[in-house]
Chains A and B, each alone.
Chain A
Amino acid sequence: MTEIVLDGVRKAFATRAGRGQPPGETTALDDVDLQLRSGELAVVVGPSGSGKSTLLDLLAGLSSPTAGEIRLDGEPITGPGLNRGVVFQQYALLPWRTAQGNVEFGLEARGTPRAQRRERAREHLDLVGLAGSADRYPHELSGGMKQRVAIARSLAFDPDVLLMDEPFAALDAQTRESLQDELLRLWRRTGKTIVFITHGIDEAVYLGHRVAVLTSRPGRVKDVVDVDLGDRSAGEDVRSSAEFSEHRHRVWSLLQNEVRRAEVSSVG
């Protein structure tokens, strides 16, 4: 249905002349090949400076690749579109709108009639467990609640793909875990294709069916790890299972070299 193909994607930025450095070019992503299957929850994990957020911008259509192509169901991505919903780390809620108003915001882009907007927003706030907070303003909500509103907003206009840019990084550990479970529940329920970007290994292994590991600057796909943890809704403590540790170790080993490389290159 909604297959995403990254084909030799490269993204370079012009850099301004600095102290003793002529203006030049930084390559954030280089030769990224990746295929994301329809309906899967794919996680992209990488050290800082691996171009994770650049990758998300490209997928969202907020910027375009310097070389290569990204295709969604065979169609190249040329700009933002309502077939993709983005969830940002810092929530990006409009502070002057209530939770309800923020969820309706996404539907306004689609041109949904008012009555229907209200109804759909209510439904989706209910879906993320915030039916009782519809009339609250963002400053009256906790970080976890804000991110739930942001997720509801992205789901409300029914995109095929959900793009998530380190959405739980700013939350405390407990809230993060409960939102991770929430996300898995939503994913199973809606069957959306989800691209989840993170720098957390545990999070990557816990959420991802497949985990793509990026190299540090420039970002390339180092490896794609298949994670099979069985049925995660059973309510057991998946994180302490032997399989989890095993997968975690694999991803950790892949990343370890990259982190070291990133440190050396930023010092040198």
Chain B
Amino acid sequence: MAEVLRLDQPRPIVRSGQLLRIARASGGIVLFLLLWEAAPRLGLVDRIFLPPFSEVARTWAGLAGSGQLEQHLGASLGRSLAGLLLAAAVAIPLGLLIGWYRRIGELLTPLLELFRNTAALALLPVFVLLLGLGETAKIALIVFACTWPILLNTINGVRTTDPLLTRSARSLGFGSAQLFTKVVLPGAVPTIFTGIRLAAANSILVLVAAEMVGAKAGLGYLITTSQYNFQVPQMYAGILTISLLGLAFNQALSALERRLSRWRST
């Protein structure tokens, strides 16, 4: 804190408001970490099952230093990105098709609703039975979980094109193909992106579960093996990394989304 204040001295009035905001925003997190630190130390919880935060942080630093963390993170990130990209590659074109051609939409919507409401994790045993314990089943599960938010948002984005813009483009003599590429598609981009962000969150969610079965690396594997071997601080370090990974995913996609939809007033 003192360090920060000293650095800010040249413009203290401008920065004090900002500092206050940062302090308020991080206040909840700091409070939570303090509670985490204090509860085991005060004996409110068994410190074997919930070690203080400082101990988890030390373990985390150790894992990072030994390169183990990098290996697990790399494996998880690879799966989750592969799943997300595959899902986007399938769901965006399919969504555009369904959104654009009402007939196809009528045919497929009930089926899609059924799939969407099937919990991805419930299908984990099915994927394992069909695709085995290897990478294919894991990535397939992530693809499944990522597909629905992207698909439904893409359909929605296409269908909610402003009719006035359509009328205007038609009055200019644009044909269907040009109407699609010049009006419908660019207008749908922000909605599609919201779907991708939801999908990214989903991919992290099912990743852990997928890695709990038959994996040799990955954050989910790290968490389960740590649990079995009673390396409790290491287990928490894994959980923490997953949270940070999810956060980073979301931040990166939000930044990209803002860049792609600068034209929106908000």
Check if A206 is an interface residue, CB within 8 A of chain B: no
Interface residues of B in 172-197 (CB under 8 A from A): 172-174, 178, 182-183, 186-187, 189
1/0 contact string of A156-191 vs chain B (CB within 8 Å):
010000000000000000000000000000000000
Least CB distance from B187 to A in Å reads 7
Check if B265 is an interface residue, CB within 8 A of chain A: yes
1/0 contact string of A100-136 vs chain B (CB within 8 Å):
0000011011000000000000000000000000000
Least CB distance from B175 to A in Å reads 9
Least CB distance from B192 to A in Å reads 13
Do A92 and B164 touch across chains, with their CB atoms under 8 A apart? Answer: yes
- Option from B182, B261, B265 in Cβ contact (under 8 Å) with A105: B182
- Option from B164, B173, B261, B264 in Cβ contact (under 8 Å) with A109: B173
Do B186 and A86 touch across chains, with their CB atoms under 8 A apart? Answer: no
1/0 contact string of B157-183 vs chain A (CB within 8 Å):
000000011011011111000100011
Collect the chain B residues with CB atoms within 8 Å of residue A96's CB. Answer: 186-187, 189, 261, 263
Collect the chain B residues with CB atoms within 8 Å of residue A200's CB. Answer: none
Collect the chain A residues with CB atoms within 8 Å of residue B264's CB. Answer: 95, 139
Collect the chain A residues with CB atoms within 8 Å of residue B168's CB. Answer: 86, 88, 92
Least CB distance from A151 to B in Å reads 13
Given the interface pairs A82-B172, A88-B168, A109-B174, the reply to whether A95 lies near B263 with Cβ below 8 Å is yes
CA A105 to CA B179, docked complex, whole Å = 11
Check if A94 is an interface residue, CB within 8 A of chain B: yes
Residue of A88, A96, A137 most packed against chain B (CB within 10 A): A96
Total count of chain B residues near the partner, CB < 8 A: 20
Q: Kindly state the interface size class of chain A when it binds its partner.
A: 20 to 34
Collect the chain B residues with CB atoms within 8 Å of residue A139's CB. Answer: 263-265
1/0 contact string of A132-146 vs chain B (CB within 8 Å):
000001110000000
Do B172 and A137 touch across chains, with their CB atoms under 8 A apart? Answer: no
CA A203 to CA B193, docked complex, whole Å = 44
Given the interface pairs A137-B263, A139-B263, A139-B265, the reply to whether A94 lies near B170 with Cβ below 8 Å is no
Do B174 and A88 touch across chains, with their CB atoms under 8 A apart? Answer: no
Do B172 and A80 touch across chains, with their CB atoms under 8 A apart? Answer: yes
1/0 contact string of B240-266 vs chain A (CB within 8 Å):
000000000000000000000111110
- Option from A60, A80, A90, A94 in Cβ contact (under 8 Å) with B183: A94
CA A94 to CA B181, docked complex, whole Å = 13
Collect the chain B residues with CB atoms within 8 Å of residue A90's CB. Answer: 164
Check if A62 is an interface residue, CB within 8 A of chain B: yes
Least CB distance from A187 to B in Å reads 20
Least CB distance from B208 to A in Å reads 37
Collect the chain B residues with CB atoms within 8 Å of residue A79's CB. Answer: 173
Collect the chain A residues with CB atoms within 8 Å of residue B183's CB. Answer: 94
CA A109 to CA B175, docked complex, whole Å = 9
What are 22 A-B contacts with C-beta separation under 8 Å?
A61-B171, A62-B171, A80-B172, A81-B173, A82-B172, A84-B171, A85-B171, A86-B168, A88-B168, A92-B168, A94-B182, A94-B183, A96-B186, A96-B261, A97-B263, A105-B172, A105-B182, A108-B178, A109-B178, A138-B263, A139-B264, A139-B265
The 5 A-B pairs at the shortest CB distance, nearest first, are namely A92-B168, A139-B265, A86-B171, A96-B263, A109-B172
